[in-house]
Amino acid sequence: MNGYEKMRAEIEVREQEDKTPACPKCGAKIGTLKHTQKGKQVFDFWIDPHGQANYESDEFYTDLDPESIWECPECWEVLFYDEEEAKKFLGG
């Protein structure tokens, strides 16, 4: 089981036990948050033998003073600016 599958299984267990937190903005039951960090995403770009453009993620470079936000995946409202607070919210 990969990391994503494990996370989804844990979320399903929490939902069954009704321990999934609710978004304080929209009230949706959410077991994950969307995390956004400012920076630059670099991709490798090439044309394949069929003439199709291809992109592959290479590296992500954070800004010198990165701002991280954690948002509700349902309403996209910013809920947290601190990882520890986001972890507490999700039960970590």
pLDDT band, very low/low/confident/very high, at 8 (cuts 50, 70, 90)? confident
Helix, strand, coil share of the chain (percent; to 5): 25, 35, 40
Classified as helix, coil or strand, 11 is: helix
71: in domain? yes
* 46 found inside a domain: yes
Please check whether residue 64 lies inside any domain of the structure: yes
DSSP at 50: T
Matching residue, tokens 């630059």: 40
Judge whether 6 lies within some domain.
no
Dig out the tokens for 66 from the structure: 């990165």
Residue 8 lies in a domain: no
Q: For residue 9, is it within any domain?
A: no
Structural domain includes residue 3:
no
- DSSP-derived letter for residue 65 is S
Model confidence over 29-78: pLDDT tens digits? Answer: 999 999 999 899 999 999 999 999 999 999 999 887 778 999 999 999 99
Report the alpha-carbon distance of residue 44 to residue 40 in Å, rounded: 13
Domain interval for residue 48: 20-90
Total number of domains constituting the chain: 1
Whether residue 60 is contained in a domain is answered as yes
